[in-house]
Amino acid sequence: MDMNEIKEIFFQECEEQLAELESGLLKLNDGDRDPETVNAVFRAVHSIKGGAGAFGLDDLVAFAHVFETTLDCVRSNKLEPTQDVLKVMLKSADVLADLTNAARDGGSVDESRSRGLVKELEALANGELPSSLIPAEAPVAKRAPVVAAAPAAKPTDDNGFQPIPFSFDDFGDEDEAAPEMPTYEVTFKPRSDLYSKGNDATLLLRDLSRLGEMSVYCNMDLLPGIDDLDPEAAYFYWAVTIKTDKGEDAIRTVFEFAEWDCDLEVKAGEARVEVASSGELPMIPVPFDLSILDDGGAEVSAQPQNDAADAVAAAETASNVTQLAAAAARVEKKESATAASASAATAVQNNAAASAGQTIRVDLDRVDRLINLVGELVINQAMLSQSVIENDTTGTSSINMGLEELQQLTREIQDSVMAIRAQPVKPVFQRMSRIVREIADMTGKTIRLITEGENTEVDKTVIDKLAEPLTHMIRNAVDHGIETPEKRSAAGKNVEGTVRLTAKHRSGRILIELADDGAGINREKVKQKAIANELIPADANLTDEEIDNLIFLPGFSTADKISDISGRGVGMDVVKRSIQALGGRINITSKPGQGSVFTMSLPLTLAVLDGMVVTVAGQTLVVPLTAIVETLQPEAAAIHSFGASHRLISIRNSFCPLIDVGRILNFRATQANPVDGVALLVESEGGGQRALMVDAIQGQRQVVIKSLEANYTHVPGIAAATILGDGRVALILDVDAVVGASRGQALRQEVSLAAVG
């Protein structure tokens, strides 16, 4: 694997860390004070900084280091994560993402913004309030700090520390004004994971000794007898007193890549006077000869028992000779047991390493090719089934039995491949948080984004194409939907507006709702604007639903002036086209003064679906099986007329509208006799249950979805197309559009929008 491949893996991991960072900051912003949440946020920035240093990404390392220092103040309870503090950190997370993208794809980052945030982060770390958070009427000098009583450590960058991972030898020297070197007490307690990952406590102590004059004491309280000894456990821990002018951050940097596998405590203090512990064994002073470690690991491992003997000999001046003898015996027994079980420990570590690789990264193009091959497999399996049915009349031949097994295997392969493509919508939802913050800052509004159902899974292709329409909808909700704080206060609302983004599964589709608690759609203003732009006639008599849908017309905008956010009439028409290209629909419900809800209904996958093949006026259609509740043969007594052209069918003492699919799609000029056909009881989004009347049912099949819009054009009432087993093209019915057309709205509206476009 070359360096470019390693670098690509790093950037992929950065995406995961940035998502974890934003998720954690949003939890903190919502009041979550779980220490693990704070640790997760810190780890994300820490990991990005470490990897960036390995590749020489200095700008990214420098910003991440300042960000990390401020987060460490939160982690150590020196800085309270208030709303103002988190506002700075959320902006910093955005800049960190920009720096990562610039390092990967090239380009530049707004340096003035990043420099400003660096100053704000440093101010927070030093117990000061950034100037951007100080109200205009409050004097800067009298502003109370936002931190706790204990002052935060000064960032080590000011002392010459170079934040470059993997090398801690290069620390600058500066003259100290104080007469003595500061003294720090370090407690270092390794866990067994530290050793299983190849780290060495002795090497960490060696690097620590390079910061200044140091004394080390080894605590052996936890060392058990030989019978209870676990060769893979960690029993010793060290108490270190070090005099250094490098600061606390430099000490913690030594343990940078091991701190998650140990308990580390660093505090300023005086040199230790008492070395005895409260346990059974004393704290043994450990000689620290750097020359031994620098000569090579082989020499160190060749004399483990001598090192242990030296430790005991150095502690012979202690008062309790009996305890020292026991300590020496236990040290020798531990070394013997460790040597005897070395091969077993190695085998266990190898097994653990093998079991750790539970996931692999695969190029998306390879998965797409696999999806296409599965689609072709489904088509060929259907063609083979059709040929056998046409040529074999017995129905019991071995060919039929093999064909059934092939069909079952094809289904299992298809389900497995679809599972590979299924991913949660969380990354897209998290991306919207930044858009809300940026637009809110530009408009001077206070807005809170609430997300629900982030773990709802959908095909990766659908997720990739969701970002653009969601971005336009979020911008529209923040700019047009949510009122200014003054207007909300006058209306008796909370000055903080709320935008809610949710995702959920329903009837084999995914529903994404974007709701706001703003002013709702001003229908009179929308209608007058459409008339002024000559999008509708002045005497048009439209329902509330039809007026709401005018915002999807190309070139339509209610903005009074063009700004960086909106006003050019580009946005909601893009949303509608994007959703339709995915085989989905979008609906609007709005209540004046209370807000609006945009509902998008999308297929879970764009590859394969289960459908029922039907015949309508000589045409072959496929109805998605997820929309069908049941099928039935209508009887004359169950058919009832309603109005001039509408009919109802009686089903179990209830009435359901009967829709002639052939008439709605203009396959025939007159309505067919329901008794001569078959009724499909379907469940539609927003339309309840309806009975679709077709001429006949050919059977249930798994079909491969082919985009009709990409290969031909958008056809109202038709979601997509497919290839049947006999090679013919069949159209996949858009059930919701047909149901909407039965109410005299959807299809005519789509045709008119197409004409306008």
627 touches 604 (CB < 8 A): no
Number of domain units in the chain: 5
Residue with tokens 């008599």: 541
- 410 & 330 share domain: no
- 416 & 436 share domain: no
Q: How distant, in Å, are the alpha carbons of 196, 226, 301, 341, 344 from that of 347? A: 11, 21, 20, 10, 5
732 touches 622 (CB < 8 A): yes
CATH number of the domain that residue 673 is part of: 2.30.30.40
Q: Of 334, 332, 324, which Cα lies nearest the Cα of 283?
A: 324
CATH number of the domain that residue 517 is part of: 3.30.565.10
Rounded Cα–Cα distance for residues 200 and 262 (Å): 12
For residue 356, being part of any structural domain is answered with: no
44 touches 67 (CB < 8 A): no
Q: How many CA atoms lie within 13 A of 721 on its CB side?
A: 16
Q: What tokens appear for 364 in the block?
A: 């998306």
For residue 137, being part of any structural domain is answered with: yes
Q: Of all residues in the chain, what percent carry a pLDDT higher than 70?
A: 75
446 touches 734 (CB < 8 A): no
- 573 & 676 share domain: no
**pLDDT for the residue 696:** 92
> Where is the domain boundary, 300, 324, 350?
350
Structural domain containing residue 523: 425-603
For residue 175, being part of any structural domain is answered with: no
CATH number of the domain that residue 144 is part of: 1.20.120.160
Flag residues of the chain having pLDDT under 50.
136-178, 271-282, 288-357, 562, 564, 567-570, 745-757
Condensed to tens digits (0 to 9), the pLDDT of residues 258-314 reads 777 888 888 887 544 444 344 444 455 555 444 444 444 333 333 333 443 444 333
- 335 & 430 share domain: no
Rounded Cα–Cα distance for residues 297 and 645 (Å): 92
**pLDDT for the residue 502:** 93
For residue 48, being part of any structural domain is answered with: yes
- Residue 422 in 3-state DSSP? strand
Rounded Cα–Cα distance for residues 72 and 414 (Å): 48
For residue 176, being part of any structural domain is answered with: no
Rounded Cα–Cα distance for residues 411 and 702 (Å): 8
> Where is the domain boundary, 603, 638, 660?
603
For residue 177, being part of any structural domain is answered with: no
Q: Of 621, 625, 706, which Cα lies nearest the Cα of 372?
A: 706
- 480 & 564 share domain: yes
- 586 & 518 share domain: yes
Contacts of 162 (CB under 8 A, 6+ apart): 170, 171, 172
- 599 & 616 share domain: no
363 touches 256 (CB < 8 A): no
For residue 217, being part of any structural domain is answered with: yes
For residue 357, being part of any structural domain is answered with: no
CA 507 to chain CA centroid, nearest Å:
25
Residue 501, strand partner residues: 451, 514
Rounded Cα–Cα distance for residues 83 and 435 (Å): 18
Helix (H) or strand (E) run with residue 513 in it: strand 509-516
- 145 & 294 share domain: no
- 109 & 153 share domain: yes
> Where is the domain boundary, 422, 440, 468?
422
**pLDDT for the residue 622:** 92
- 145 & 95 share domain: yes
- 438 & 312 share domain: no
- 321 & 192 share domain: yes
